[in-house]
Chains A and B, each alone.
Chain A
Amino acid sequence: QSALTQPASVSGSPGQSISISCTGSSSDVGHNFVSWYQQHPGKAPKLMIYDVSNRPSGISYRFSGSKSGNTASLTISGLQAEDEADYYCNSYTTIAPNYVFGTGTKVTVL
Chain B
Amino acid sequence: EVQLVQSGAEVKKPGESLKISCKASGHKFANYWIGWVRQMPGQGLEWMGIIHVGESDIRSRPSLQGQVTISADKSISTAYLQWSSLRAPDTGVYFCAICAHGSSDWPDWGQGTLVTVSS
Partner of A97, one of B35, B97, B110: B35
- Kindly list chain B residues whose C-beta atoms are within 8 Å of the C-beta of A103: 44
> How many of chain A's residues have a CB under 8 angstroms from any CB in B?
26
A51/B104 contact (C-beta < 8 A), A45-B109, A96-B59, A96-B61 known: yes
Contact B107 A33 (CB under 8 A): no
Main secondary structure of the interface of B (DSSP, over half): strand
- Kindly list chain A residues whose C-beta atoms are within 8 Å of the C-beta of B10: none
Q: Does A88 contact B (CB under 8 A)?
A: yes
Beta-carbon contacts of A1-43 to B below 8 Å, as 1s and 0s? 1010000000000000000000000000000010101010000
- Cα(A97)–Cα(B112), bound, Å: 20
Stretch in B24-32, B45-53, B71-79 with 4+ CB within 8 Å of A: B45-53
Contact A35 B104 (CB under 8 A): yes
- Kindly list chain B residues whose C-beta atoms are within 8 Å of the C-beta of A39: 45
- Cα(A23)–Cα(B104), bound, Å: 18
Chain A's nearest CB lies how many Å from the CB of B61? Answer: 5
Contact B61 A97 (CB under 8 A): yes
Q: A3-B44, A3-B46, A99-B47 are in contact. List 4 more A-B contacts (CB 8 A).
A: A37-B106, A45-B109, A86-B44, A101-B44
What are 9 pairs between A and B in contact, CB < 8 Å? A33-B104, A39-B45, A44-B110, A50-B105, A50-B107, A56-B105, A56-B107, A86-B44, A101-B45
